[in-house]
Amino acid sequence: MKNFQKYIGIIIPLLVIAGLLLYPAITGKAAARETAFTILKAIALASSLNILLGYTGYVSFGHIVFFGFGGYVGFYLLSTQGMSLWISILAGGLSSGILAFLLGKAILRLRGAYFALATIGVNEAMRAFINNFDLFGGPTGITLNFKAYLAYGGAAKALEMSFYVVGALAVLAIILSYIIRTSKFGLGLLAIRENEDAAEVMGVFAPDAKTWAYVLSAIIPGMIGVLFFFKNGNVEPHDAFPLHASIELLVMVMLGGQGTVLGPILGAFAYQGMRGYLVTSDFFKDIQLSVSGALLLIIVLFIPAGAIGWLRQRNAILRRVLA
Amino acid sequence: MTLLLQVQGVTKRFGGLQALTQVTFDLPKGQILGLIGPNGAGKTTLFNTINGVYHPEEGRILFKGQDVTNKMPYHLAKMGMARTHQIVRPLNELTVRENVMVGACFGHENQSLGKAAKIADEVLEFVGILNRADQLAGSLNVAQKKRLEMARALASHPHLLLLDEVLAGLNPSEIDGMIQMVLNIREQGITIIMIEHLMKAVMNVSDRIFVLDYGEQIAEGSPNEIVNHPKVIEAYLGDPKLAEQLMEEE
Ligand SMILES: Nc1ncnc2c1ncn2[C@@H]1O[C@H](COP(=O)(O)OP(=O)(O)OP(=O)(O)O)[C@@H](O)[C@H]1O
Ligand SMILES: [Mg+2]
């Protein structure tokens, strides 16, 4: 029974992904694939952020920096060094992981709001750096030569393939999330989330565990970045490091329920669904970001500073009542 | 007689406040050391300094003969030191069993998840809250949270156990249960330092007693020596008659 419950935790998420991958074929509409791509990308990014936010309890307002940085590195290798998409995706994931490792050593010492602020700073600093980095094309970015798609059977085939690759990356993100959630390493992260000092007293090497959680939360966003820019055919600093995308990821994770495998998936679904509606509605088109900001505010208002998750908050009140 | 812990001339300051002054004592293996003193005497600070939460400005601490003065709490946990907190620190959103598994997984035995779950159930049975194992730790009452603190510490199968006021806030029957538990733990060969305000309990349980007042050690000895020690009576008990009363209480 216990095992069955455990497996349910991974079976449902994978069924969701399978449904999304089949959705375009079932509806037969070209736009459906675009929609499904966006949702799969959001699921992969939100599930990755969840490793840091949901399991470890560290709020990052700048997680998109790993999408942008890894994406840039991989896209550079792809477009100007002639490397294959696969090598480039791996390189993108690796470079984001390395960036997270170095950043982790520097800013994971900060707790609560200070860490959150530092992550915004990192994202903005990276954007400014790339903007002035000639190798990556500075403010104009890099454009992919159309011929690069030939290696994948032409532009149309490459687009279709990208859809399945994003599905594979979403599956990878979910499996990673599940493995961490059910591992000893994950138990250490949860302990850090609940009370970092108590966790250290019980023997959790918090500085190392946090750094590895950060690295693991950064790798798939870097890979997604490469794929996304490959599909778009170009990259610019503006598209690579949008602060609002970081906030949207937070909303997705918090909306669905952080700290669970399924939560970010549902959150990504719900948020993208809402966003899709807002973008197509004339009235909401211009204010969709205000809506996501307001949504975040509403979620945050129900959570006292420093606390993660409404369930946990409810227990904090309960504890105060009991004590 | 092997010394498990040696505290040598430890001084700890918080800004201008001298929380510990030249504290020195040895703790042989297998003993229970009672640590007493008025509120604010520095007892909890001494625990925090021993287990690496704070680092002393002066002096050194040896655990199992090894200098651990500047080690972190997780290093000491890995070496076999465990503690409870005066103000309980449950991992609220985790179940009671998961809380205890953290102790077993990350303590000095470094257990796997499967083994840790088994140990957790044994230890929860021992402290008497096995029936709460699947409940969230945040939903326990204070007495149960104290037992949880104890269970987490015990799950690591420590060599040295630091107990910070495990009896505070418990009712008389809970206190008796907890005292019995401490004695049972010692039976298992675990060395204990116990901070306690309840005189009767600490006098009955301890092999030796160490008294702190304003961060200074004012006395050390057997329970009998301590209770008749003029300095202790003056500083801690205030009034000799009160001291006698406390000792005579059944
Ligand atoms: N982190 C800290 N920063 C500043 N001062 C501290 C800190 N921790 C403790 N103190 C101060 O050090 C002194 C000793 O405190 P400590 O908590 O060790 O006392 P205690 O003997 O455990 O008291 P109690 O019996 O009330 O638990 C107190 O004056 C306290 O205010
Ligand atoms: Mg204290």
Tell me the helix, strand and coil percentages in chain A, rounded to 5. Answer: 80, 0, 15
State mean pLDDT over A201-222.
97
Q: What is the mean pLDDT of residues A282-310?
A: 60
Distance CA A50, CA A287 (A): 26
Delimit the domains of chain B by residue range: 1-80+198-250
* CA distance linking residue A305 with residue B5, whole number of Å: 40
Domain ranges of chain A: 2-321
**Residue B245 binned pLDDT confidence (cut-offs 50, 70, 90):** low
- CA distances to A170, A251, A260, B187, B241 from A225, in Å: 13, 20, 24, 59, 77
- Segment A247-268 shows an average pLDDT of 84
- CA dihedral angle for residue A82, residue A65, residue A54, residue A180, rounded to 10 degrees: 30
Judged against a pLDDT cut of 60, whether residue A303 lies above it is answered with no
Pair of tokens at residue B15: 């800004």
Enumerate the residues of chain A whose CB falls inside 8 A of the CB of residue B89: 195, 197-198
- Among B78, B93, B156, the residue with its CB nearest the CB of A194 is B93
What is the C-alpha to C-alpha distance for residues A255 and A296, in angstroms, rounded to an integer?
9
Query: Higher model confidence: residue B95 or residue A30?
Result: B95
Question: What's the complex ipTM?
Answer: 0.92
The pLDDT score that the predictor gives to residue B153 is 95
Q: Which residue has the higher pLDDT, A284 or B18?
A: B18
pLDDT at A308: 31
Residue pLDDT, tens place only, A79-110: 989 899 999 999 999 999 999 999 998 898 88
Q: Which residues in B lie closer than 8 A to residue A194 (C-beta atoms)?
A: 90-94
Task: Quote the pLDDT of residue A304.
Answer: 33
Mean pLDDT of the A60-73 span: 94
Task: Report the SS3 class of residue A249.
Answer: helix
Mean pLDDT, range B201-222, rounded to an integer: 91
A201·B141 Cβ contact <8 A? no
Where do we find the tokens 């006098």? B203
Average pLDDT over residues B185-196: 93
Average pLDDT taken over every residue of chain B: 90
Query: Which residues are placed with Cβ below 5 angstroms of ligand 2, an ion?
Result: B 44, 86
Q: How far is B76 from chain A (nearest CA, A)?
A: 8
User: DSSP class of residue B127?
Assistant: H
More confident site: A71 or A9: A71
What pLDDT, on the 0 to 100 scale, is given for residue B226?
87
Residue B150 near residue B84 (C-beta atoms within 8 A): yes
- Tell me: domain A2-321, CATH 1.25.40, correct? no
* pLDDT in the model for residue B248: 56
Across the range A149-171, mean pLDDT stands at 92
CATH fold group of domain B1-80+198-250: Rossmann fold (3.40.50)
Flag whether pLDDT at B236 surpasses 70. no
Q: How many degrees, rounded to 5, is the angle at CA A167 between CA A163 and CA A172?
A: 145
- B50 ligand 1 Cβ < 6 A: no
In which band, very low, low, confident or very high, does the pLDDT at B108 lie, cut at 50, 70 and 90? very high
Q: Which two tokens stand for residue A163?
A: 């859809």
Ligand 1 atom nearest residue B165's Cα = 27
| CA distance from start to end of chain A | 35
The pLDDT value recorded for residue A247 is 85
Query: What is the distance between the alpha carbons of residues B196 and B35, in angstroms, rounded to a whole number?
Result: 7
pLDDT in tens, B147-190: 999 999 999 999 999 999 998 888 888 888 889 889 999 999 99
For B136-153, write each residue's pLDDT tens digit: 899 999 889 999 999 999
State residue B244's pLDDT score: 58
Residues of chain B whose beta carbon is less than 8 angstroms from a beta carbon of chain A are: 51, 53, 72-74, 77-78, 82-83, 85, 89-94, 98, 101-103, 105-108, 112-113, 116, 136, 138-142, 152, 156
Specify the 3-state DSSP secondary structure of B8: strand
pLDDT for A309 beyond 70: no
pLDDT digits (tens, 9 = 90+) for B53-91: 999 999 999 999 999 999 999 999 999 999 999 999 999
Q: How confident is the model at residue A305 (pLDDT cuts 50, 70, 90)?
A: very low
Residue A318 CB contacts under 8 Å (≥ 6 apart), including other chains: B138, B139
What's the gap between Cα A188 and its chain centre? 21
Query: How remote is the CA of residue B51 from the centroid of ligand 2, in Å?
Result: 14
Best interface-test mutation with B: which of A181, A202, A210, A313 has the largest number of B CBs within 10 A?
A202
CA separation for the pair A179, A216 (Å, rounded): 12
Q: Using CA atoms, how far apart are residues B208 and B197, in angstroms rounded to an integer?
A: 15
